Amino acid sequence: MRRVLVRVDFNVPLTDGQVADDFRIQAALPTVRALLERKVGITLISHLGRPAGRPHGAFSLQPLAEVVSRHLGQPVTFVPGVPGDSTYRQAVSADPGAVLLAENLRFDPGEETNDPDFAIRLAFGHDGFVQDAFGTLHRAHASTVAITRLLPACAGPLVAAEVRALDLLLSDPRRPFGLAVGGAKMKDKLPLLRRLLPEVNTVFLGGALANTFLAASGLAVGSSLYEPAELDSAAALLESWPEVIHLPDTVVVEAAGQVDEVAVTEVSADARIMDVGERTLQAWRPIVLGLGRLFWNGPMGLYERPPFDHGTATLARTIGEMTGMSVVGGGDSLAAIRRLGLEGAVSHLSTGGGASLTYLEGEILPGLQALEER
For residue 325, list its beta bridge partners. Answer: 293
> What CA–CA distance (Å, rounded) separates 10 from 28?
8
Of 174, 185, 339, 374, the one binding ligand ADP (CB under 6 A) is 185
Q: Is 261 in the site for ligand ADP (CB under 6 A)?
A: no
Q: How far is the CB of 265 from ligand ADP (least distance, A)?
A: 17
CB atoms within 10 A of CB 16: 6
Q: Is 157 left (phi over 0), alpha (psi -120 to 50) or beta?
A: alpha
266-285 residues in contact with ligand ADP (CB under 6 A) are: 273-274
30-89 residues in contact with ligand ADP (CB under 6 A) are: none
Window contacting ligand ADP (CB under 6 A); options: 20-28, 57-65, 255-263, 292-300: 292-300
Greatest C-alpha distance within the chain? 70
Residue nearest to ligand ADP (CB): 183
Window contacting ligand ADP (CB under 6 A); options: 7-15, 129-137, 172-180, 297-305: 297-305
Q: Is 183 in the site for ligand ADP (CB under 6 A)?
A: yes
> What CA–CA distance (Å, rounded) separates 258 from 256?
5
Angle between helices 186-196 and 231-240 (to 10 degrees): 20
**Cβ 350 vs Cβ 165: under 8 Å:** yes
For the chain, the C-alpha Rg in angstroms (whole number) is 23
Window contacting ligand ADP (CB under 6 A); options: 62-70, 182-190, 194-202, 238-246: 182-190
The H-assigned helical ranges of 52-172 are: 62-72, 86-94, 109-112, 116-123, 157-171
Of 98, 331, 345, 369, the one binding ligand ADP (CB under 6 A) is 331
Q: Is 302 in the site for ligand ADP (CB under 6 A)?
A: yes
Catalytic residue among 24, 121, 139, 272: 24
Nearer to ligand ADP, 238 or 302 (CB): 302
Indicate if 354 belongs to the active site.
yes
Contacts with ligand ADP by CB under 6 A: the residue count is 21
Nearer to ligand ADP, 33 or 50 (CB): 50
For residue 293, list its beta bridge partners. Answer: 177, 325
294-310 burial string, b = 16+ CB within 10 Å, else e? bbbbbbbbbbeeeebbb
202-241 residues in contact with ligand ADP (CB under 6 A) are: 207-208, 211, 225
Residues at the interface with ligand ADP (CB under 6 A): 183-185, 188, 207-208, 211, 225, 273-274, 297-299, 301-304, 330-333
Among all residues, which ones are annotated catalytic?
Answer: 24, 185, 331, 354
